[in-house]
Structure 1
Amino acid sequence: MKFTVIGGTGLIGTQVVRKLTDAGHEALPAGLSTGLDLLTGKGLDEALEGAQVVVNLANSPTFDDKSLDFFRTSMGNLLAAGEKAGVGHQIILSIVGVEQVPQLDYYRAKALQEELLRQGPTPYSIVRATQFFEFMNAVMSWTSDDETVRLPVTPIQPMASADVASAVFEVATGAPLGGVRNIAGPDRFPLDELGRITLEAQGDTRNVVVDDQAGMFAVIDGEVLLPGPDAHLAATHYRDWVREAH
């Protein structure tokens, strides 16, 4: 089969392309670096030519309200081009609990992306993942200084990007779900505890202080980012991953 992987040069995309290629499929990575512009539609027809499946891993360049326009325009262009090309399956990667966090512009934008896909002309699948292990240092950097990292106690159940890529590969090579598959890591943590585990593994002596006003996750109420009982749980544990990564 031929797959076009939009955002195929990113963290998840490169791994999905590799998995598809190793399985004997033709996998074309497409993005700005290959001449594809989702906002203008430039290069879309060429990228989708002959593709039976489109895996859309493209991300907005910003996380503010401009992300709404990005997903609205990019999905409109991609769905129209996919219908023209005869694509039989469109897949997007979204976020567990995304529709329950309307106070965050980016989450509202991803919820809009999901809705546009549902209303589109092509059989579809939505893979919703929890937060990636690889992003923990970035999360801490938002609210840290030389001595202290401030984090809320928001509960999350993060997962490794390799496990995300495996789940996307599995869905992409199967029949369209016509719905959502939730995926998550095996362990739940308060965000502040995850920060302490990360710093210890990296030999970082800074202290983690609980601050329920700190960072993007401070506005999230309760356990909305945790997966439900229907979620597919990956095998990689954060403590093992972070020790091996450092």
Structure 2
Amino acid sequence: MSFVLEPQPTPSVAVHGEEARFPVRRIFCVGRNYEAHAREMGKDPTREAPFFFTKPADAVVDDGAVVPYPPLTKNLHHEAELVLAIGRSGFEVSEEDAWDLIWGYAIGNDLTRRDLQFEARDKGRPWDWGKSFDNSAVCGPIRKAGEIGHLEKGAIRLSVNGTVRQDADVADLIWSVPEIVSILSRAVRLLPGDLVYTGTPAGVGALVPGDVCVIEIDGLGKLTTTIGEPAK
């Protein structure tokens, strides 16, 4: 097959202990999946139905990277999240079968231009400009589910310059890991290479150039990101 333009490289995420990387196809994110975070966003938590938004695959950023402060915002926020790496195809899968689709787990940081997100929300517009920008999907090395088992609980904690801001447990998710995969698979056919950011606990806050953001999840290690000066 020939192309009129040179195709861009395939976005990818590191795999713990391996040189080979995980190719990223799509990035799905769950909104307001911790009760306390829903409240701090001014919404009442509910289990009626989760909602999802997306990020471009090439928004992924590796552990240890310096992320330039993004344009158009004066209120960049961190959001610590458990990330699911999908390794098998599935459509309309049950919660019991959902575990079989998960290839591994990683730590993620759903960077958010909060001012743009709130402006869009208040005007009834899509969140894209607040969520789907360059370098907005920080993702640490994936650890294989076959090696560490499946994650249903474990501390999730974020600190900025050594001060803890987010501190919760994965067990606090409103919609659990298998529920998220099952519900998402009713809308789209999940395919190998998809990433699912499962939501963030309360305590989100602003980042400025020079900040060092560290996220820890039990069993997955640490994810470190430094916020750099705006790109020129």
TM-score of the two chains, using structure 1 as the length reference: 0.30
- Of structures 1 and 2, the one scoring higher in RCO (CA 8 A, sep 6+) is 2
Bigger helix share:
1
Point out the structure with max Rg over C-alpha: 1
TM-score of the two chains, using structure 2 as the length reference: 0.31
Bigger strand share:
2
